[in-house]
Amino acid sequence: MPISASKFIDQAKPRIFDKIPERKYFLIYTNGKVTEKNYFERFENYLPKGMIELDVRHINSNPKRLYRKSLRHASISGIPYDEIWIIFDKDDFDCFEDAVAICESEKNSYAGFSNECFELWLILHFEEIKSGMNRKKLSSKVKHFVNKNSSKTYSERDLKRNIYISDVLDMIEDNGSRKDAIIRAKELQGDLSDKEHCLNNPSTSIYKLVEKLEKYISS
């Protein structure tokens, strides 16, 4: 007589693929061609393979157009992106605040902004910044920390070149603290929302994306 499979239902083990975490897809659009793009691409070296997919892209444009380009790419790519991030600086963009507000209002869209610029996030790996600085002063501070912890001497122009950026980011990673940078960035923002804080210098919300990626690295 054939054996009834129903006798073994309660003893059946869960299928292996039921335990596999769902793959997460992040789309990151930045208007920073060298520093920002290379910074986030480096996370691919630490994230679990086949679990987290990063698609980091650059376009030289203002924040609102950056946002529209990211949505267009997501719609035609066929990839089910879980989160779409646009990474941009305050600079002199009139649409800076609008871009932050748009991202806040849309599901799965996020703004990683820096006021005044991305270099603020890098400096927070080494020290607190309490008062506002322009791009020139922030770049000069980054150069100070890089040259302090390097056997080479770099100019501010060098720090913006693809040929050197890997060395620069290695130095920041080896001698600075990403954990401290997250804590310091949170302290700068306090209890204010992105919409309220995006025009305050100094401020950066880059930590929100970094903190999410960090969870996958440590898991």
Residue 171 lies in a domain: yes
How many domains does the structure of the chain reveal?
Answer: 1
pLDDT at site 207: 96
Closest CA to 85 of 119, 116, 114: 114
Residue 201 lies in a domain: yes
Phi, psi of 61 (to 5 degrees): -160, 170
Domain span at residue 174 reads 21-218
Is the pLDDT at 215 greater than 60, yes or no?
Answer: yes
Task: Write out 114-156 in H/E/C secondary structure.
Answer: EECCCHHHHHCCCCCCCCCCCHHHHHHHHHHHHHHCCCCCCCC
Residue 13 lies in a domain: no
User: Residues of the chain with pLDDT > 90: what percent?
Assistant: 59
Residue 185 lies in a domain: yes
More confident residue, 103 or 179: 179
Instruction: Return the CA Rg of the chain.
Output: 21
Residue 14 lies in a domain: no
Q: Which residue has the tokens 């919300």?
A: 205
